[in-house]
Amino acid sequence: MNKVARKGASVELAIEAALRELGVTRDQVEIEVIDPGKKGFLGIGARDAEVIVTVKVEEVTEPVTEPAIADPMTMQEETEPASDAEQMEEPVESTSFKTEVPAEDTELAKKLSDQKAIEETKQYLLAIAKDMGIHDLNIQHENDGKYISFHLESTKAAFLIGKRGQTLNSLQQLCQLVVNKYAEQFKVIRLDVGDYRERREQSLEQLAERMADQAIRTGRKVQLEPMPSYERKVIHNALSNRLDIETYSEGTDPNRYLVIEPMK
* pLDDT tens-place string over residues 158-186: 999 998 898 999 999 999 999 999 998 89
Q: Is 255 within 8 Å of 225 (Cβ atoms)?
A: no
Give the DSSP H/E element, type plus range, for residue 55.
Answer: strand 49-55
Q: Which domains does the chain have, with CATH numbers?
A: 1-101 (no CATH), 105-194 (3.30.300.20), 198-262 (3.30.1370.50)
The reported pLDDT for the residue numbered 50 is 83
Greater pLDDT, 20 or 224: 224
Residue 99 has pLDDT above 60, yes or no: no
Q: Which of 39-43, 89-93, 111-115, 156-160 has the lowest mean pLDDT?
A: 89-93
b/e map 46-58, b = 16+ CB within 10 Å: eeebbbbbebeee
CB atoms within 10 A of CB 175: 23
pLDDT digits (tens, 9 = 90+) for 21-38: 777 788 878 888 887 777
Q: Is 248 within 8 Å of 259 (Cβ atoms)?
A: yes
Q: Is 48 within 8 Å of 37 (Cβ atoms)?
A: yes
Cα separation, 190 vs 180, in Å, equals 13
Residue 231 has pLDDT above 70, yes or no: yes
Give the DSSP H/E element, type plus range, for residue 192.
Answer: strand 188-193
pLDDT digits (tens, 9 = 90+) for 23-78: 778 887 888 888 777 776 555 666 777 888 888 776 544 554 444 444 444 444 44
